[in-house]
Structure 1
């Protein structure tokens, strides 16, 4: 590897005053707030967010308290939290919550893999040389990628990255697998939609349907789509189906994340309408219809898979 990226932030420099974990939580939470999951005055459950993010409640509460200092969230008398307002159009998330060094390197590695700038295998020293950061940041980032199924340690000192969905066969197999998993999950006897989560997804999709395209960040659009599909599958109550869809979302993230900077208005609106139709069928307890719409939705996305990812319906 000969191309070096710009150096990351100096170790320990964090102008937000948050720890690395808290920064990562905040940067997951802000797009959800911006997407309209909660309306002004609505309660925000720190316990539910902790479950969603797979962490303890403490860092979630600390981030909510940080955002209360910014006037976005309010803390109630019973130590709960409510949304005060959505971030204003001029409030840049990078200024409000600067990315942690791990988050920055994570995104750089994803971009480099998606664009063929680093190979499918690399040593820590090669990554150090390529990205110009510290060994500790490289190791923590690799552990994050490993936890998401995107990298695994090779015998010796190297790492192997997951295959990107960057060829026709891999894309075909991914969509076929997703269709089996997602449509099957909806038809499981154990399928039970959570009313609060369903309402939150509806608000998020309505916000995407109605928001000016210029106000939707590519990463937020990708994560909203991934969150929708993972949540619907989670209602099956089958942990193995959930693990499978998370793995697929991680593979999609590796390949597509960097390319979601250019959004197609038709793609955004079409996906949001499909998602709302699926949720409406689930609310009506017509799971056959929900599965059929989901099948059509994924098939239509598959048919458009040769175009740029940002132009796909999902």
Structure 2
């Protein structure tokens, strides 16, 4: 079998845990591709890999199903399955992010610069740049070299992304076609309760960011408005880098989770006007909290 992208397999394992999916839960490839915002091909390869490793079962003409409950801490499950990302790749990824925000890297850069500066092998270099490109904060230039997104190099960028979301997300809840499926409400609620039960302290930066992205994108997707959906996905791709840095302060996530749960309760009772207003207040609360940790987002003098 072609070597699959282990990062997709790791994300599927994390999703199984976050959603508390029981043994026998069906995992449609298209559903996972939509949730992880990737094509079906790498998802199919990752599912086959997890089947080989005993995490999933496979039924002819039906697809893949969870084989067991994954109760162990995520890092233990990933390590036990041999799905760990190279420590070097992970470490350098965050070093590049930090150096970029500190203005210590130029916006336009060559692969050789990154390879030399961080002491990477060709394989490690490809892995780091592939992750950065996938997450949308750098892209290959036509012809030669790479370029970081200029949107991500100012302290105001994260706050500006939240102000755009403040204009968009509450309005999405008032769209005429809005419908949030009961199973989506249940999945979002389980993820928030997991964080309140201790996940805030133990989750990685990736997991915390992705959980928030899935929650808010689920609400916007329920609007049925493709323009809303496309905009929020673009915003979430470019804000990931600054979002990581803001996670150095996690105390605010307890209140965030409680507010997320309240919005779900209101939507479940079809009180969309109240949910929209509360979501607006929630985003304003987040903007205020980010203003309070501005020193974390600022580069050093």
| Runs of 4+ with >6 A deviation | 100-103
Question: Corresponding residue for 1:173?
Answer: 160
Aligned-partner Cα distance in 2 for 1:135–1:240: 39
Q: Which residue is 1:162 aligned to? A: 149
Q: Which residue is equivalent to 1:59?
A: 42
Alpha-carbon separation, structure 2, partners of 1:172 and 1:58: 35
8 Å contact from structure 2 (residues 89, 127) kept in 1: no
1:142 Cα shift? 4.6
Give the drift of 1:156.
5.7
Q: Residue 146 of structure 2: SS of its match in structure 1?
A: strand
C-alpha RMSD of matched pairs (Å): 3.3
Partner Cα distance (2:52, 2:140) in 1: 41
Choose which of 179, 202, 209 in structure 1 pairs with 2:189: 202
- Structure 2 residue matching 1:296: 3-state secondary structure: helix
Unaligned runs of 5+ in 2: 297-301
**1:11 corresponding residue in structure 2:** none
2:9 maps to what in 1? 26
Residue 189 of structure 1: aligned partner = 176
C-alpha distance in 2 between matches for 1:170 and 1:246 = 16
Question: Which structure's residues are more often helix, by fraction?
Answer: 2
Counterpart residue number, 2:69: 85
Query: Residue 109 of structure 2: SS of its match in structure 1?
Result: strand
1:217 to 183, 186, 204: 204
TM-score normalised according to structure 1 size: 0.77
SS at match of 2:120: coil
1:56–1:169 distance in 2 versus 1, CA, 3 Å: closer
Q: Structure 1 regions of 5+ residues with no counterpart? A: 1-16
1:1-314 to 2 correspondences below 5 Å: 19-21=3-5, 23-76=6-59, 78-82=62-66, 84-89=68-73, 91=76, 93-94=78-79, 96=81, 97-99=83-85, 104=90, 106-133=93-120, 138=125, 142=129, 145-146=132-133, 148-154=135-141, 157-163=144-150, 167=154, 169-211=156-198, 213-258=200-245, 260=247, 263-264=250-251, 267-308=252-293
CA shift for structure 1 position 193 = 1.8
> What TM-score do you get using the length of structure 2 for normalisation?
0.80
